[in-house]
Amino acid sequence: MLIKRDFLKAKWYKFDDEVELEIGPFPFSNHKTVEIMDMVMEQFMKCLVGWKGITESGKVFKCTEENKKFLYDYYPEVRDFVLDKARSFSAVVDEEVKN
């Protein structure tokens, strides 16, 4: 079996005209027996690994755990986008591993 890792690197996705989000796959080993909503938030927090073009009051909105949770809680369009891309990414990972 040949182990490949290059396809696991997080990728940048254009969210809108100004914002890009860096999203990686969710490692299967990170799944825990938790409530569904906890699992969804955990996936979001682990898969969103960076962003560009997000500001607050004219200052860079840094990619921190606290700020990721804020986006998760109050920006459903970002939450849905990240989770959709992360799930698509996981499908690619599954296919790559099979090859």
pLDDT in tens, the chain (99 residues): 354 567 678 889 999 999 999 988 766 556 555 566 777 888 899 999 999 999 988 889 999 999 998 888 888 899 999 999 988 877 766 677 776
How many angstroms separate the CA atoms of 82 and 54, rounded?
A: 15
pTM of the model: 0.65
Cβ atoms 24, 8 nearer than 8 A:
yes
Q: Where are the domains of the chain?
A: 10-98
Q: How far apart are alpha carbons 14 and 36 in whole angstroms?
A: 27
Looking at residue 33, what is its pLDDT? 54
Q: Which pLDDT score is estimated for 89?
A: 78
Longest dimension (CA), the chain: 51
pLDDT for residue 28: 58
